[in-house]
């Protein structure tokens, strides 16, 4: 029950506060640890990139789990209420619902002002592709895609890990996710060094990605989007991505909004050929961004309700 209370409070705090820049964030510390650790390990093991990346992954994930575990353990020795309060703050910092909305809506605000330069600038903060030459439609598509994908990676998947094992397991997941986002690239620098982290991220996200897609389909029905088409496109296009998990929620979003997502994109100046997801039933516009955020919020709400009910049932039965 302590974990469930902390997760629910953390979810509410995330919706209210989000991720203000002035507030210190543990995930930034994880990112700092990854960057420093990479430099040290590359110096020690310059010719053993896969082993070095595996060592970095093990160290970062272990630290990310152990530190919050002992913080909560010692807080619990002092006061159970203090422990719940600290864990609630940890849970809030692990979830990224409002942050995802704020960052995407910043791009939207510049799009509706026809300020393409700033739209590209702030889009580059939330996507990995090149943004310098994108037009309004391409920017809108990129924003919808990143909201759809990160609904799983940034909201539902961490929520699942939090409900299962509290903040320590949540930080373990975020560490793997952050490692993948920083070193999980298939380029000359990280092809071997980041491979272990990328594969671990794929494994951890396999079931959460499917669960997230199911929750998003339910949410699309609740908010009045095309849930039947969401099911259709999910079944057809859920594997149309180089990652085994990324296309799951993108397929649902494409179907629910009747859009075509994915396709070719430039990364680091190189064209990457990718399959499309969804049907080209209508032209993507900036207005699809707030609609996608509405679907993301509905999915998060459905998720917290269902996961909380499952956790509560397990507590009662056990």
pLDDT tens-digit readout, 90-107: 999 999 999 999 999 999
The secondary structure of residue 154, as a DSSP letter, is I
Residue 169, classified by CB atoms within 10 Å of its CB into exposed (0-12), middle (13-18) or buried (19+), is buried
Flag whether pLDDT at 315 surpasses 90: no
Q: What is the largest CA-CA distance in the chain?
A: 59
* 3-class DSSP assignment, residue 145: helix
Q: What angle do CA 92, 53, 199 make, to 5 degrees?
A: 65
- Rounded to the nearest 10°, the torsion over CA 20, 123, 98, 73 is -60
CA distances from 111 to 104, 106, 120, 135, 136 (A): 11, 9, 9, 10, 7
Residue 215 confidence (pLDDT) = 97
Taking the CA of residue 6 as centre, how many other CA atoms within 13 Å lie in the half-sphere pointing to its CB? 28
b/e burial code for range 46-58 (CB count within 10 A of at least 16 → b): eeebeebbbbbbe
Q: According to the model, what pLDDT value does residue 259 have?
A: 94
What is the reported pLDDT for 187? 77
Predicted local distance difference test score (pLDDT) of residue 128: 78
d(CA 185, CA 240): 18
Lowest mean pLDDT among 16-30, 134-148, 200-214, 230-244: 16-30
pLDDT interval class at 184 (50, 70, 90): confident
Least confident of 160-164, 184-188, 228-232, 272-276: 184-188
pLDDT in the model for residue 54: 95
pLDDT of residue 20: 77
Give the integer Cα–Cα distance in Å for 104 and 291. 11
Q: What is the pLDDT of residue 243?
A: 80
Q: What is the pLDDT of residues 254-311, one digit of tens each?
A: 999 999 998 877 777 777 788 899 998 899 999 999 999 999 999 999 999 999 999 8
Task: Pick 22 or 28 by higher pLDDT.
Answer: 28
pLDDT confidence of 186, banded at 50, 70, 90?
A: confident
List of residues 6+ apart from 134 with CB closer than 8 A: 120, 123, 142
- Is 260 strand, coil or helix? strand
pTM above 0.85, yes or no: yes
Please report the pLDDT score of residue 230 as a whole number: 95
Q: What is the mean pLDDT of the chain?
A: 91
Over residues 192-240, the pLDDT tens digits come to 888 999 999 999 999 999 999 999 999 999 999 999 999 999 999 999 8
pLDDT of residue 274: 84
Could you give the percent of the chain with pLDDT greater than 90?
74
Six-digit token string for 13: 């705090």
The region of weakest confidence among 31-45, 174-188, 203-217, 295-309 is: 174-188
Residue 122: alpha-carbon gap to chain centroid: 18
pLDDT at 33: 94
E strand or H helix at 148: helix 136-150
Can you tell me the distance from the alpha carbon of 168 to that of 171, in angstroms, rounded to the nearest whole number?
5
pLDDT recorded at residue 26:
86
- How many whole angstroms separate alpha carbon 302 and alpha carbon 11? 12
């Amino acid at each position: 029950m302590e974990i469930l209370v902390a997760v629910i409070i953390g979810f509410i705090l995330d919706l209210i506060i989000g991720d203000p820049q002035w507030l210190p964030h543990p995930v930034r510390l994880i990112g700092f640890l990854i960057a420093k650790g990479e430099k040290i390990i590359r110096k020690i093991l310059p010719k053993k990139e896969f082993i070095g990346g595996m060592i970095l992954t093990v160290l970062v994930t272990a630290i990310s789990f152990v530190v919050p575990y002992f913080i909560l353990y010692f807080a619990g020795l002092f006061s159970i209420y203090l422990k719940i309060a600290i864990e609630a703050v940890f849970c809030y910092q692990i979830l990224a619902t409002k942050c995802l909305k704020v960052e995407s809506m910043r791009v939207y605000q510049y799009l509706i002002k026809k300020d393409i330069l700033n739209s590209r600038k702030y889009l580059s903060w939330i996507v990995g592709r090149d943004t310098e030459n994108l037009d309004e439609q391409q920017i809108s598509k990129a924003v919808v895609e990143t909201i759809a994908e990160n609904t799983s990676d940034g909201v539902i998947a961490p929520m699942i890990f939090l409900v299962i094992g509290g903040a320590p397991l949540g930080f373990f997941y975020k560490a793997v996710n952050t490692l993948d986002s920083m070193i999980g690239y298939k380029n000359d620098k990280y092809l071997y060094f980041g491979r272990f982290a990328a594969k671990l991220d794929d494994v951890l996200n396999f079931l959460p990605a499917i669960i997230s897609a199911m929750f998003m389909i339910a949410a699309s029905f609740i908010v009045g989007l095309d849930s039947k088409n969401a099911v259709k496109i999910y079944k057809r296009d859920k594997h149309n991505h180089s990652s085994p998990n990324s296309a799951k929620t993108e397929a649902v979003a494409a179907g629910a909004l009747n859009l075509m997502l994915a396709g070719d994109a430039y990364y680091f100046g190189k064209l990457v050929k990718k399959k499309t997801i969804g049907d080209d039933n209508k032209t993507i516009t900036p207005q699809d961004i707030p609609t996608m955020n509405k679907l993301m919020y509905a999915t998060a709400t459905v998720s917290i309700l269902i996961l909380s009910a499952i956790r509560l049932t397990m507590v009662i039965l056990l």
